[in-house]
Copies of this chain bind each other. A is one copy, B any other.
Amino acid sequence: MPRSLPPLRLALAQVNVRVGDVEGNVAKLRDWIDRGRDEGAEVVVAPELAISGYPPEDLLLKEHFLGACAEGLQALARETEGVVALVGFPERADDVYNALAVIADGAVQAVYRKCDLPNYSVFDEQRYFQRGEAGGLVELGGARLGLTICEDIWTPGPPASAEALAGAQLIVNASASPYHRGKGRQRERMVVQRARDNLCAFAFCNLVGGQDELVFDGYSVVVDHEGTVLARGPQYAEGLVHAAVDLHAAGTARLRDARLRPSVRSQLQHVDHLAVLERREPDPAADPAAGADVHEPLEDLADVYGALVLGTRDYVDKNGFERVCLGLSGGIDSSLVLTVAADALGPERVTAVTMPSRYSSEGTRTDAELLAANLGVELLEIAIEPAFEAFEGMLAQTFDGRERDATEENLQARIRGNLLMAMSNKFGWLVLTTGNKSETSVGYSTLYGDTAGGFAVIKDVAKTLVYELIAFRNARDADHPVPESIITRPPSAELRADQRDDDSLPDYDTLDRILELAIEHDASPEQLLAAGCPATELERILRLVDVNEYKRRQQPPGVRISERAFGRDRRMPITNGFRG
């Protein structure tokens, strides 16, 4: 290594790409790489699979999709000048790899292949990819960059440790790391620890944006070899994250630290020396630290709310909808969905629909009107009584002699579902559903009724968290859009006279505690009892969770904010004889 190397000027392109839209993604990457270069970066890093978007799922089984990605990458490379770009793409070689292209001087100079392929939780990478077998080093002037992709650094050891031992001063990680509650801080702590363990700077570039159930939160970060944060990207927004990395510091520190001296080099796993590139002359007037920005991480509730907003906005926009509508009951769940929708899209793109029945209270109707007015969204009202009467008449003979029961409640919910879907069909609006995770867990919903719609904004938000998020949102701005009475009124589906949720469910504090342990931690009934869950309710609740899998399977996607969301995360059989 030369005695004196200028700091490496790095920019992380934390972009929001769209799955499958190779042409659009390439155009966006081209813009951001050029911007990075023009703002002084020598190296611009893009996220994992930036060319295809993440996760492309079974698009990866189409030869012509892989061909389009290869062409897109080549087109991007041809127009990349004056900067080194690291860009994630699905590589079609002897097999398919989750790969990172090293682009310089108008061509792809080398390719690194992801070694660790996650195949748990929402990840299915072993369905699609062959694993890489070695770390990868790129030499840029005297700078040595070790390349990694997402999961590669989620366990200690190689390939990152091997790259550090092979002399990397900086490990670059291109990621598509989805959000769940608390993930951002965990992730940064992990990156900091990897940097300290390897005495190596780390640059972690994450995707940002919503893709069906997943939200990628951004939160890219550059840390030095001691784990000090040099730059941090925004959450839930695109950003070009600049940093200048001292190339001497890591080497100097290693002189003092026996852990990374030659004695342990015998354990060196294989590292491919992928490319030797020249560095651009630095602009003598440029301050290498200029542009480095350290965004403060969001607090927990702002973080969750941010995920809901971005997840909703991207589902709507990326699927080409101009407008959304939702049923506004005056209850807390639909109120939260309405504020999220208004914040995500602007109130001018949102229609709320109240659909009162003979069981609707004056209070909920007034509250719904007030909330819509406060947020500035359009409000329609359609009473459901005529259809309800028609159905009762049509079914009178078939139901003759039977008591009224949940059937008549579900009928009302399904009439509302029909009305919203009719508006969706007529006007091209996307219907947002308003069920929360607590209800979704125990099936406290009507299939094809309140679950009818294209996107389930809060399906992974427990009822107790719904209250916290409303309180957060009300406190955030001076406008306090949500009327206090919405927050204080006891929850009710208003599908029969004087109905209250706690007629048939335990209080939500208790319910949510049971659900969190049973669903997110797979606790057994014995463990739940030991944790203090009330024995009286437990068996019924667990049974409800199991038997309502069929309902969940037919519900729309929604934003994943927990470590165990329904959908492609928690994959349970419908036909299931296990009790517990």
Contacts and interface: CB of A to CB of B under 8 A. Distances in A.
Interface of A: 18-22, 24, 53, 55-59, 61-65, 68, 119-120, 124, 126-127, 210-212, 314-315, 318-319, 380, 382-384, 386-387, 389-391, 393-395, 398-399, 402, 405-407, 410-411, 414-415, 417-419, 421-423, 425-426, 447-448, 452, 454, 522, 524-527, 550, 553-557, 570-578, 580
A415 B394 CA distance: 11
A421 B426 contact: no
A386 B394 contact: yes
Given A410-B421, A454-B550, A553-B556, A577 B394 contact: no
A58 B571 contact: yes
A8 to B, nearest CB: 34
A419 B394 contact: yes
A212 B423 CA distance: 33
Contact of A448 (B318, B389, B417, B572): B417
A216 to B, nearest CB: 13
B577 A522 contact: no
Given A64-B525, A124-B571, A394-B419, 7 more contacts: A212-B573, A382-B395, A387-B394, A398-B426, A410-B425, A414-B414, A448-B448
A31 B259 CA distance: 61
A522 B395 contact: no
Contacts of A126: 119, 126
Contacts of A21: 577-578
A383 B394 CA distance: 7
A554 B570 CA distance: 16
A20 B573 contact: yes
A302 B387 CA distance: 45
A63 to B, nearest CB: 7
B395 A386 contact: no
A578 B22 contact: yes
A62 B526 CA distance: 13
B407 A394 contact: no
A318 B556 contact: no
Given A418-B411, A556-B550, A319 B56 contact: no
Contacts of A419: 391, 394-395
Given A20-B577, A64-B524, A570-B58, A398 B423 contact: yes
Given A394-B387, A557-B553, A426 B407 contact: yes
A24 B402 CA distance: 35
A387 B422 CA distance: 14
A568 to B, nearest CB: 8
Nearest to A404: B426
Contacts of A382: 394-395, 398
Nearest to A382: B394
A145 B108 CA distance: 53
27 contacts: A19-B573, A20-B576, A20-B577, A55-B573, A56-B573, A59-B572, A59-B573, A61-B522, A62-B524, A63-B522, A63-B524, A64-B524, A65-B578, A68-B580, A124-B124, A314-B575, A382-B394, A383-B394, A387-B394, A405-B425, A410-B421, A414-B417, A417-B448, A421-B447, A421-B448, A448-B448, A554-B556
A124 B383 CA distance: 47
Residue of A387, A423, A555, A578 contacting most chain B CB atoms (<10 Å): A578
Contacts of A119: 119, 124, 126-127
Contacts of A405: 425-426
Contacts of A570: 58
Contacts of A384: 394
A360 to B, nearest CB: 15
A553 to B, nearest CB: 7
A414 B418 contact: yes
Given A126-B126, A387-B387, A391-B422, A575 B406 contact: no
